[in-house]
Structure 1
């Protein structure tokens, strides 16, 4: 089996999540793919950051969406992790493209529901990844499925990811993925471990899986034995 190890927010066990340092560490560590979080600054610039608020990562109060890029760039996005990362800033998507072009397999965009994207902003995102020649690597996931529909309407060839959090949602989410075409299911790993028949059932309908977030070797091995090929991890990069 051709296993795909996906670095969660970059190599986030070794460097502060969603930073250039974490993405560089993932590539150096041998990750096949990278997962990261995307949202917009107040002035509509795609930036890579997970939380709706700035407190946990930067120690600064406020919502990301209410800050301009200039304001966000003044914040320390690495010092919370270790002193050596004090200089890390919140990266824009444009700044991360240098790392992302080096990724072997896929880039999993987790587009956060904290902000609404205009049609122009979605078109700008598609244009950015197209011009960077990484469109074929992109998998766009989002809890906001209206956003996914807008992305697909703008770019029919891009791959989409539908989230699965509860096993009871499987029929509905699988239907959405099969209807959309060129789509995968992105699931909590324990949902798959508890319902192993989901894997082959969905694959028989042309829908693959990526599972998250796996940081214990025994879970990693169990998932491999079930035939799961795409595994998101904070810490098991390079593990076999």
Structure 2
């Protein structure tokens, strides 16, 4: 497996959950959305989770309610049932990660794979994602909000470029203990997982995050609705609802 560097990811625009249009029959994280992104040549950001029978699928939300109209989590259902569920009442269904990669290898730019937290099965998700990516010929990296997932890759796949997702403390909306929210918002677990990049929500970033950028850690913006404007203060931009060029600077 080739070991990628910052130059392989800098200056790209990444289509958030594919080049989707939820209002016109191309739902997020669907094969149609990834096909559209690959046809344009954009970089892509997507999300992976586990089904109950251990298959790696592409889906973002913690629950199936918003996208599929079904109560429960992805990990509560086997693949066969998940693939019977329709995405936003379209013909599209929850895709296998391997099927998405088969589409993206047709021309997409670099790939950012976000691993969602699946509790005690996090190591299984990490291991299976790593093994699937080993056969992907394109440029890829991984990221997660969960610093322990990022740490898993540091320990078990140090050759894979890795990133810490983060957002302001207020965005956790009381879902986590205050101290933990403060630590996550400030990327204070970076001494454990040594991220190559920090993907931070657009807006005011903590000074300590900006200091890390000065030390060579990439800063990635999410999720931009004006990608060319947000490119000015970030090394890469994850976008939606706009159509930027493929790149804005040479890596």
Q: Is TM more than 0.5 here? A: yes
Q: Using the alignment, how far apart are the partners of 1:170 and 1:50 within structure 2? A: 20
2:150 counterpart of 1:148: yes
Deviation at residue 54 of structure 1 after TM alignment: 1.4
Q: Given the two structures, how large is their TM-score scaled by the length of structure 2?
A: 0.77
Unaligned residue ranges in structure 2 (runs of 5+): 1-9, 170-181
* Residue range with higher mean Cα deviation, 175-184 or 54-63: 175-184
Aligned to 1:108, the other structure's residue is in SS state: strand
For these two proteins, the number of residue pairs brought into alignment is 222
In the superposition, the TM-score normalised over structure 1's length comes to: 0.80
What's the offset of the Cα at 1:107? 1.4
Aligned to 1:82: none
Change (3 A) 1:58 1:172: closer
Write the deviation string for residues 185-238 of structure 1: whole angstroms up to 9, x where unpaired: 01001124xx69955x333312001111111x3xx3443333x23111112233
Q: Secondary structure at the match of 1:52?
A: coil
- SS of the equivalent of 2:38 reads helix
Where does residue 12 of structure 2 map in the other structure? 4
User: Among residues 164, 167, 176, which one is paired with 1:165 in the alignment?
Assistant: 167
Indicate how the Cα distance of structure 1 residues 146 and 196 shifts in structure 2: closer, same or farther if over 3 A, else same.
Answer: closer
Deviations 1:39-78 (A, max 9, x none): 1000111111111221211122222111000110111124
- Three-state SS of the structure 2 residue aligned to 1:124 is helix
1:36 shift after superposition? 0.8
RMSD: 2.7
CA contact (8 A) 2:186 2:209 kept: no
What residue in structure 1 maps to residue 37 of structure 2? Answer: 26
Q: Does 1:223 align with 2:230?
A: yes
